[in-house]
Amino acid sequence: MVDDVAQLRDIVIKHLHGTGRYVVVAQVPTAEEALGVLDTVCPDLVLLDLSMPGMGGVAALPQLHARRPDVKIAVFSGFEHAGRGPELLAAGADVFVQKGTPLVRLVAELDALFGIGTQGDSAPGNDAPGNSPPGNGAPGNSAH
């Protein structure tokens, strides 16, 4: 998870863990740190804020996508970005969820992104042979 507000990261991470479907393998306050973490961690998802000090999420989106094209990117940002959905999707985001949306809705969007809840599907990476347990940086149920 990439967001400069530590308290928000803690709340969202606690909620994601509480679902039993997502394990956050890293959390960082800047896009620059997120790019660095992707050199050592292989998440299935990056949950990305756009308004942060430094590079910010908008500039980081294409770099995150280029560095890890297989990783899904969910933008979780404020009202000022609500009308930018098409631009964000073109830059590499897979979904945009506005901050202030109830966390159950955020989880529903993430579940939809991974096809969870559809018949025969399960959490990201769970059915892949050879997956390591979630939370250790290996693919499978991991968010960054």
Q: Which residues of 72-87 are buried (b: 16+ CB within 10 A; e: fewer)?
A: bbbbbbeeebeebeee
Highest mean pLDDT among 69-73, 114-118, 134-138: 69-73
Domains of the chain in sequence order: 6-117+139-143 (3.40.50.2300)
- Between CA 14 and CA 35 the distance in angstroms is 23
Q: What is the DSSP string of 113-143?
A: HHTTTSTT--STTTTSTTPPPTTSSSSSSEE
Residue 131: half-sphere exposure toward Cβ, Cα within 13 Å: 17
Supply the pLDDT for residue 120.
45
pLDDT tens for 27-58 read: 999 999 999 999 899 999 999 999 999 998 88
Contact 29, 37 (CB under 8 A): no
Within 10 Å of residue 64's Cβ, how many Cβ atoms? 23
pLDDT tens for 70-80 read: 999 999 988 66
